[in-house]
Each structure stands twice: as structure tokens, then as C-alpha cells.
Structure 1
Amino acid sequence: MTVPKDIQRRLEGFAFLAAFAACIPAANFLIQHVGTFCLPDGGPCVIPVAPGLTAPSGVLMVGLGLVLRDLVQRRLGLWWSVGAILAGAALSACFSAPSLVLASAAAFLFSELVDLLVFTPLQKRGLVLAALASSVVGLIVDSLIFLQLAFGSMDFVAGQIVGKIWMVLVAIPVLILLRNRDQRIGMAAAS
């Protein structure tokens, strides 16, 4: 038995929404507990992201979260995505270390809103292009806001951007598979 296309899309959308929400506590857990070393006095745990570059380990989930937000919008619509951003900012504040609450929530809120503003018009040109462009803009905004508010320093900006880009690049094959499957389903429905 096959699942109708609209039900399948909504189920996928809710799965993307759950994964998006899971990225938030995961990023906060990583930044506080997982890395090749943790900076003293409550500083972040960092990981290598390229030769000579390190970043707080939460960058991995932040990069993935930007792509997942795009997929929530693609499957459930703009208003579900806006709701996910607002709920995500609140979750980010709840799961952050006390010293990172403002930085985490503000960076999340503004980066995801910028991602939405770039993704929305570009998605008409294609899922992969829209997700890639919006995620890159979002991850830069996230890095700048988070580092400035959390540490008053841009020391990790290059590592933050590179770490987040890795996760966006890892997501591209999945985006291509979804796009191709959606196109096949669309062609089959048109025949």
C-alpha cells in the first residue's frame, strides 16, 4: 500500500521538525561537554574543523539545523517554519549554559530568520540552491552574533563558519535525493 503524496510530505515535514528541534539541545550539549579539549573557566569545548582551525563543537548541529529548517518549510510551509524558529529560540535559551543563554538564543533567532528570508524566494529556483545559499548566509550571521555576545571575540569565526559549512555540504546529497524524488512523484502525478 502506498501513502498518498500529501500525507507522505507532512510526515516527512514532522520528521524534519523533530530533527530540527533535536539539533538545539544537541548543539548546547556538545559545546559544553564534547571536544578535543574544553577551554577553562566555562569556555566552550572545541573540535578541529580544518587544519589549524578549531570551533566550538556545537557548530556541527547548527549547520545541520539551518538545512533542516529549510526542509521544514519545504514540507510544512512558511508558518510552520516561523513557529519552529520561535520555539527553537526558546529551546536554545532553555538548554544553554547560563553564560550562553542570550548569545545562543539571539544567534539562533536571527540566523534562522535570515535563513528563512533567503530561502523563501530562492526555493522557486530549486531546493539545493536555496538551501545552500540560505544556510551559508544563516551560518555567517549565527557565527558573528554568537561569538560576539558569548565571548566578545571573533577568535573562532573562521572555524565556526568552516564547521557549519561542513554540515551543510554533508546534507547536499540528501537534498538532491529529495529533490529528485519530488520531481519523479510530480511527473508521475502529471501523467
Structure 2
Amino acid sequence: MENRRRIEGYVFLAAFGLCIPAANWLIGNVGTVCVPNGPCLIPVAPGVEAPSGVLMIGLALVLRDMVQRRLGVGWAFGAVVAGAALSAVFAPPALVVASALAFFISEAADLAVYTPLQKRGLILAVVASSLVGLVIDSVIFLQVAFGNQDYLLGQVLGKAWMVLIAIPFVHLLRRRDEKLDIEAA
């Protein structure tokens, strides 16, 4: 059973790592509108648009939590550092600093909130840490990349949608873990 959880942790780690280049590729290539010298935008609510990379960053916040759940805090922190480096490598040249800085600070904040809360409940920890991380990521990224907060509502909503979509899967994972723990006892 422990081996199975470790393998899942490596899968979560790989998915987390893939979110970073995907987010950077999306922001420059996929959207209903691509702003000249700016991001490609997608609708995240009626009348609200956000840079398309928000989808992958929202997912990355949850995946980082799952890496920590399966592999431990050391692996999670290593993933944050590696993720910031990947973000710098894969970001469009104009967004390298914004992408890497926002990613590192928001994921570190996610880790800091998730770690103490996980003992009180997995869903609470994932939701609270993701909300803190997604707001920090949005504020820092927009300010450093574009010098304004024009897309803040869209950034927050887009990332929050991804967190909400992931919660049922986190719940199923927690339920399966509980069942396996009972069977192993």
C-alpha cells in the first residue's frame, strides 16, 4: 500500500511539473482573444476574462498539495523550487521574472498554509492553501508582468474554478485512503 501511494506521489509530481510549461504555453497561444504584446485571454465568468494560463496554475496548486500528501514536505518544497526554475525556462521572455517569482511565492505560501491545516482535514487544507496561493500568484504575476491588476478578478476566478473542479478528486482520494487504511489494520 505504501508503495502505491509513493507511485501516486510521483505521478502527482510529474503532473505538477507539466502544469508549468503548459501554463506558459497557454498564456501565449490559446484564448478567445490574444492581446498584442500581452496574454491570450479566456472567459472565466460572464464578462470576465483571464490569461489562459490560469487554468494550469489553479491545478498546480492542488497538485502541489497532493505531492506533499504522498511524498512529504521535502518533496513538495523541492517541487516548488524546481517549478519556479521550470517557469523561468518555459515562460515567454517578457514574462520570465513575473512567472517565476509569482510561482515561487504563491506555491511557498500554499505549502505554508497546507502543512498545518492538513491535520485538520484534507479538503480544508487544499481549499484554504489553494485560495491563498491563487490570490498571491495573481497579484504578483499581474503586477510584475503587466504593471497593473486589470485581470485580477479573472485570474482569481479562473484558478478557483480549477481548484473547485479538483476537489471531488481529492475527496475520492481521501476516501480511498481511509478505506485502504481500514483494510490494512
Work out the CA distance in 2 between the residues paired with 1:101 and 1:56.
Answer: 15
Aligned to 1:154: 149
* SS across alignment from 1:179: helix
- Please name the residue that 2:170 is paired with: 175
Q: How many residues align?
A: 185
**Partner amino acid, structure 2, of 1:8:** R
Q: What residue in structure 2 maps to residue 32 of structure 1?
A: 28
Q: For structure 1, list consecutive stretches of 5 or more residues without a partner in the other structure.
A: none
| Residues 1:107 and 2:102 are matched in the alignment | yes
Of 44, 51, 57, the residue aligned with 2:52 is 57
Residue 130 (structure 2) pairs with residue 135 (structure 1) = yes
Matched with 1:96 is 91
CA deviations 1:75-128 (Å, max 9, x no partner) are 000000010000000000000011100000000000000000000000001111
In 2, Cα distance between equivalents of 1:179 and 1:132: 14
Q: CA deviation at 1:147?
A: 0.2
Q: Distance in 1 between matches of 2:47 and 2:163?
A: 21
Q: 1:79 aligns with which of 66, 74, 81?
A: 74
The TM-score with structure 1 as length reference comes to: 0.96
1:187: how far off? 1.2
Take 2:4 and 2:127, find their aligned partners in 1: how far apart are those partners?
24
* Aligned residue in 1 for 2:140: 145
- Return the index of the structure with the highest Cα Rg: 1
Amino acid at match of 1:170: I
Residues of 1 paired with 2:17 and 2:127: CA distance?
20
Mapped pair 1:16 → 2:15: no
Q: Distance in 2 between matches of 1:74 and 1:43?
A: 36
Structure 2: which amino acid aligns with 1:32? G
For 2:157 and 2:145, locate their aligned partners in 1 and report how far apart those are by CA, in whole Å. Answer: 19
Give the 4+ runs in structure 1 shifted more than 2 A. Answer: none
Q: CA deviation at 1:59?
A: 0.1
Partner deviation per Cα, 1:36-86 (whole Å, 9 max, x = no partner): 01001x200000000010000000000000000000000000000010000
Distance 2:9 2:148 in 1: 37
